[in-house]
Amino acid sequence: MVSTMTPAKTSQKDAADNDAAGDHGAAGTGANGAADAKGASVVVNAIAVLRTFSAEEPLLGVTEIAGRVGMHKSSVSRILATLEQEGLVERDPETRRFRLGLGLIAVAGPLLAEMDERRVAYPVLRRLTEQTGETSALMLWNGDEAICVEQIASPHQIKHTTPLGARYRDAMSASVQVFLAHQPAERVRELLRSGAVTFPGMDDAGLAAYEARLGEVAGRGWAGNYGESSMDEVGVAAPAYDHRGDITAVVLIPAPRFRVSRERLEDLGEACMAAAAQVTTRLGGRSPQ
């Protein structure tokens, strides 16, 4: 708790003490420095709480969240109360557990609206879903993960979707394969060895095979994932490029495995690659030579 004092009642001694504290704060220590550090810690903890929610687990209780972020339940409850007040989380009326709130859309809206890739890709994704009957999505790279920033859901009752904000770090994910195929070999090894990108076959032979696979992805122009990261799902992905010829986004098609034969996977890969080429053109980009 931070106490406040009315200026009219501040004595000379108090003013001197405040000046001294301010001097210490400028050096990163003392009362002001401690308050700044505490404030930063609160922000970090609040972000950690928000990041515990996922598409797979949209509803979480206080005890679950506390266990995942390593904080006391009372601290998590206070953070959730503040986030709920701001509309960033909301409480399920039946279970009393929490989910992300619509207030987050207001926060992220300006960023999403300014994304050229998202705006340019939207009509292309709509046509791709109409053409294939499957979900289409646009993925961006965040340094060590692929993040969904746009999606057009399949009209089928049974479908696979990629919710906005979904993050993919599995090395076998089609979108991750495409992004890694455009990374330097040393960077790929670093991501795999550190566990930032999950890869089950992390030995010399497995790494060599995966690097060869990335070479094939780069040469063919699209990546496939036939139930390798999830038994009941397949995916194909292809890159879109900016004016420098650098990868800027990936077009992804996820679909239920039962509906996609190996031959159909090839067709989806070709359709995905054609859609990604349209995004590249609309961005004023060019494919690398």
Residues 94 and 123 occupy one common structural domain: no
Residues 213 and 140 occupy one common structural domain: yes
Per 3-state DSSP, the chain is made up of helix, strand and coil in percentages (nearest 5) of: 50, 15, 30
Measured from the Cβ of residue 195, the count of other Cβ atoms closer than 10 Å reads 11
Q: Is residue 244 in some structural domain?
A: yes
Residue 174 maps to which CATH number?
A: 3.30.450.40
Choose the final residue of a domain: 103, 124, 153.
103
CA 244-248-253 angle, to 5 degrees, is 140
How far apart (Å, rounded) are the C-alpha atoms in residues 78 and 17? Answer: 32
Residues 197 and 74 occupy one common structural domain: no
Q: Is residue 134 in some structural domain?
A: yes
Q: What is the pTM (predicted TM-score) of this model? A: 0.66
Choose the final residue of a domain: 83, 103, 123.
103
Task: State the total domains in the chain.
Answer: 2
Burial of 130 (0-12, 13-18, 19+ CB in 10 A): exposed
> By C-alpha distance, which of 223, 267, 229 is closest to 134?
267
Q: What domain range is 31 assigned to?
A: 20-103
Residues 79 and 165 occupy one common structural domain: no
Contact 146, 175 (CB under 8 A): yes
Q: Provide the residue-wise pLDDT of the chain in tens; the chain has 289 residues.
A: 333 333 333 433 344 344 334 444 444 445 566 666 656 788 999 999 999 998 778 899 999 999 999 999 999 999 999 999 998 999 998 899 999 987 887 777 666 555 678 888 999 999 999 999 999 999 999 889 999 999 999 999 999 988 888 889 999 999 999 999 999 999 999 999 999 999 987 777 888 999 999 999 999 999 999 999 889 999 999 999 988 899 999 999 999 999 999 999 999 999 999 999 999 998 888 888 6
Q: Is residue 289 in some structural domain?
A: no
